[in-house]
């Protein structure tokens, strides 16, 4: 039953993260006005807002005007639910579980924002950072100062890349890796960066081969950072040991 509740709460929070990720970068309130179709302005009712199920029932189109609804909405809802459930299966109700839930929540919001605006808002990072700080006081890394060293490593590495590449890395990505370094520590934030680059290159090549993305067209890096950070937090030590066995 706990697993069912966690999955349902993940769906609900995922729906809310869509709102946050779309409204905060635009400087809008996350409370008002009520959700509405961006084309016809029709306010959404309760039956339009059931996570995932409403999208399926409406066949991905507005009930009023028939405009296409972005697939990002149900994907975010379902991904959040699965990540919450995965965190519970890995850690139970522990401090690591709550770190995972906060980390996954922040990343899902940032993925929505990066897809919509190619922007990682400072407000989101600043909102989550104090919660990470409290949880790292309750359950510090070993050694405890690895959070500070990880933050410096994550921020410094991305800043160096931005300087060398003359702006090839966005300021939001730099600050995000600073926060990730605080949560993950030095070793895992470096792994998260390498995995992010791998996912970005691999998925980018597939998208270009499929004609979905054109060569030279800017792509949001946030989704790949999210994939790398999630993999590093949940399976980082295993991945590092697997890699080292080849040497």
The pLDDT of residue 119 is above 70 = yes
What is the rounded distance in angstroms from the CA atom of residue 122 to the CA atom of residue 145? Answer: 24
The pLDDT of residue 132 is above 90 = yes
The pLDDT of residue 168 is above 70 = no
- Say which range, 10-14, 88-92, 209-213, has the weakest mean pLDDT: 209-213
The pLDDT of 63-86, averaged and rounded, is 93
Cβ atoms < 10 Å from Cβ of 72: 15
The pLDDT assigned to 171 comes to 85
Residue with tokens 């937090």: 233
The pLDDT of 4-25, averaged and rounded, is 95
Instruction: Share the mean pLDDT of the chain.
Output: 92
The pLDDT of residue 83 is above 80 = yes
Q: How many helices (H) and strands (E) does the chain have?
A: 9, 0
Among 155, 158, 157, residue whose Cα is nearest residue 183: 155
Non-local CB neighbours of 55 within 8 Å, separated by 6+ positions: 69, 73, 74
The pLDDT of residue 213 is above 90 = no
The pLDDT of 27-33, averaged and rounded, is 88
Cβ atoms < 10 Å from Cβ of 158: 25
What is the rounded distance in angstroms from the CA atom of residue 82 to the CA atom of residue 171? Answer: 29
The pLDDT of residue 96 is above 80 = yes
The pLDDT of residue 38 is above 90 = no
What is the rounded distance in angstroms from the CA atom of residue 169 to the CA atom of residue 224? Answer: 13
Q: How would residue 136 be classed by pLDDT, with cut points 50, 70 and 90?
A: very high
What is the rounded distance in angstroms from the CA atom of residue 215 to the CA atom of residue 166? Answer: 20
- Structural domain boundaries of the chain? 140-247
The pLDDT of 83-95, averaged and rounded, is 96
The pLDDT assigned to 36 comes to 83
pLDDT (tens digit per residue) in 216-244: 777 888 999 999 999 999 999 999 999 88
The pLDDT assigned to 46 comes to 85
The pLDDT of 146-164, averaged and rounded, is 93
Among 103, 206, 161, residue whose Cα is nearest residue 198: 206
Greatest Cα pair distance in the chain: 60
CA distances from 230 to 79, 89, 99, 158, 189 (A): 12, 15, 11, 18, 11
Among 198, 230, 194, residue whose Cα is nearest residue 106: 230
């Amino acid at each position: 039953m706990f697993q069912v509740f966690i999955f349902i709460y993940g769906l609900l929070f995922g729906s809310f993260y869509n709102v946050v990720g779309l409204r905060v970068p635009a400087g809008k309130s996350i409370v008002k006005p009520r959700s509405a179709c961006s084309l016809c302005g029709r306010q959404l009712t309760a039956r339009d807002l059931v996570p995932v199920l409403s999208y399926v029932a409406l066949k991905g189109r507005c009930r009023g005007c028939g405009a296409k609804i972005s697939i990002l909405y149900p994907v975010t809802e379902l991904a959040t639910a699965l990540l919450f459930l995965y965190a519970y299966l890995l850690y139970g109700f522990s401090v690591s579980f709550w770190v995972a839930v906060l980390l996954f929540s922040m990343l899902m919001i940032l993925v929505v924002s990066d897809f919509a605006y190619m922007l990682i808002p400072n407000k989101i990072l600043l909102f989550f950072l104090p919660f990470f700080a409290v949880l790292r006081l309750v359950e510090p890394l070993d050694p405890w100062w690895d959070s500070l060293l990880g933050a410096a490593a994550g921020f410094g590495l991305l800043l160096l890349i931005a300087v060398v590449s003359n702006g090839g890395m966005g300021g939001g990505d730099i600050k995000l890796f600073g926060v990730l370094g605080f949560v993950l520590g030095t070793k895992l934030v470096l792994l998260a960066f390498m995995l992010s680059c791998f996912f970005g290159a691999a998925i980018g090549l597939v998208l270009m081969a499929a004609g979905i993305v054109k060569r030279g067209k800017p792509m949001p890096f946030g989704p790949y950072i999210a994939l790398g950070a999630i993999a590093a937090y949940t399976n980082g030590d295993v991945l590092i040991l697997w890699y080292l066995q080849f040497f």
